[in-house]
């Protein structure tokens, strides 16, 4: 077998093994790519590829195989049809009730009581073991009407000695009534810690949303005074027992007073 001669092989030539020589093949012309019958080249440019358009192979800019990318909420697409799309994700999204999201490492700020309505998400409190509860501690003196805003905390503690008997008004906030937050079958428990000096004073009027109501007291006896040189802790469970809009018939309050010294 003669040695294969690779010197200057050309398209349209044939190899003769008898003398190890390339000879031109008569009748066959050298062809360029667009000389093929099903290839149409028009102003070819660097980076282009051949794409079959259903009739011919034509030169076109590379677009990859991306054809139907769409973006959802919080996602921005640039160059969505390729060849290389850019995807940006908004990491400042706020969880709403209209989408399903898993929250992790998040703090709920002023969550609503179950059943409440607002422009923010309603939060149903879970059953917890040894839950932590928010309280407001204030170097204030008990006198007049004291508003207990349950949207802020369920425990209110005045550390200065009382100056007079006083009214406790339970509400959700200064702009939202407690009755509008509680639905029939809901209840909420709050505590009032009143500090007394040598002269004892007490909470002698109890209100819900500014309406005076008579609680059902533990032991069937309403307190008639406070306890001197001590802290009296009042505990109130406010239960919405009907859907009526009248405080007196919609709400039942259960109360107790305990001396701590």
pLDDT in tens, the chain (261 residues): 445 555 666 666 777 777 777 776 665 555 677 777 788 888 888 878 888 888 999 888 876 666 666 777 777 777 666 666 777 877 776 666 566 666 676 666 655 544 444 444 444 555 566 767 889 999 999 999 999 999 988 899 999 999 999 999 999 999 999 999 999 999 999 999 999 999 999 999 999 999 999 999 999 999 999 999 999 999 999 999 999 989 999 999 999 999 999
Q: Do the domain assignments include residue 103?
A: no
Planar angle of CA 40, 45, 51, nearest 5 degrees: 45
Domains of the chain: total: 2
Chain Cα centroid distance, residue 71: 20
30 and 144 both lie in a single domain: no
> What pLDDT score does 118 carry?
46
255 and 172 both lie in a single domain: yes
Q: Do the domain assignments include residue 107?
A: no
Q: Look up tokens 């992790």; give the residue.
A: 104
161/143 Cα distance (integer angstroms): 10
Domain that holds residue 34: 13-61
148/255 Cα distance (integer angstroms): 15
The number of helices, as runs of H, and strands, as runs of E, in the chain is 2, 17
Q: Do the domain assignments include residue 4?
A: no
> Which of these, 149, 224, 242, lies nearest to 187 by C-alpha position?
242
DSSP-derived 3-state class of residue 248: helix
Q: Do the domain assignments include residue 87?
A: no
231 and 143 both lie in a single domain: yes
Chain Cα centroid distance, residue 202: 43
Q: Do the domain assignments include residue 185?
A: yes
139 and 56 both lie in a single domain: no
150 and 232 both lie in a single domain: yes
Q: Do the domain assignments include residue 175?
A: yes
Domain ends where: 22, 45, 61?
61
251 and 147 both lie in a single domain: yes
141 and 55 both lie in a single domain: no
52 and 160 both lie in a single domain: no
φ, ψ at 42 (rounded to 5°): -135, 115
Q: What are the tokens at 5?
A: 């001669």
231/199 Cα distance (integer angstroms): 12
192/133 Cα distance (integer angstroms): 14
DSSP-derived 3-state class of residue 250: helix
29 and 140 both lie in a single domain: no
> Which of these, 158, 165, 164, lies nearest to 140 by C-alpha position?
158
233/135 Cα distance (integer angstroms): 13
Dihedral, CA of residue 200, residue 204, residue 206 and residue 212, to nearest 10: -160
């Amino acid at each position: 077998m003669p040695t294969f001669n690779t010197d200057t092989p050309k398209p349209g030539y044939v190899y003769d093994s008898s003398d190890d020589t390339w000879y031109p093949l008569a009748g066959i012309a050298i062809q360029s790519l667009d000389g093929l019958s099903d290839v149409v080249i028009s102003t070819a440019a660097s980076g282009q590829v051949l794409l079959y358009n259903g009739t011919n192979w034509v030169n076109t800019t590379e677009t990859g195989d991306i054809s139907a990318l769409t973006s959802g909420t919080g996602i921005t697409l640039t160059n969505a049809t390729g060849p290389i799309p850019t995807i940006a994700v908004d990491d400042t999204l706020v969880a709403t009730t209209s989408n399903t999201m898993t929250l992790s490492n998040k703090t709920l700020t002023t969550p609503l009581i179950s059943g409440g309505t607002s422009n923010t998400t309603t939060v149903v409190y879970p059953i917890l073991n040894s839950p932590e509860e928010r309280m407001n501690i204030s170097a204030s003196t008990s006198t007049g009407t004291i508003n207990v805003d349950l949207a802020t905390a369920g425990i209110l503690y005045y550390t200065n000695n009382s100056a007079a008997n006083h009214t406790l008004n339970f509400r959700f906030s200064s702009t939202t009534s407690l009755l509008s937050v509680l639905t029939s079958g809901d209840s909420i428990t709050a505590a009032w810690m009143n500090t007394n000096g040598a002269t004892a004073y007490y909470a002698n009027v109890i209100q819900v949303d500014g309406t005076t109501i008579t609680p059902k007291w533990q032991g069937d006896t309403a307190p008639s005074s406070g306890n001197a040189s001590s802290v009296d802790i009042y505990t109130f469970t406010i239960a919405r027992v009907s859907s009526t809009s009248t405080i007196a018939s919609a709400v039942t309050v259960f109360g107790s007073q305990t001396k701590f010294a």
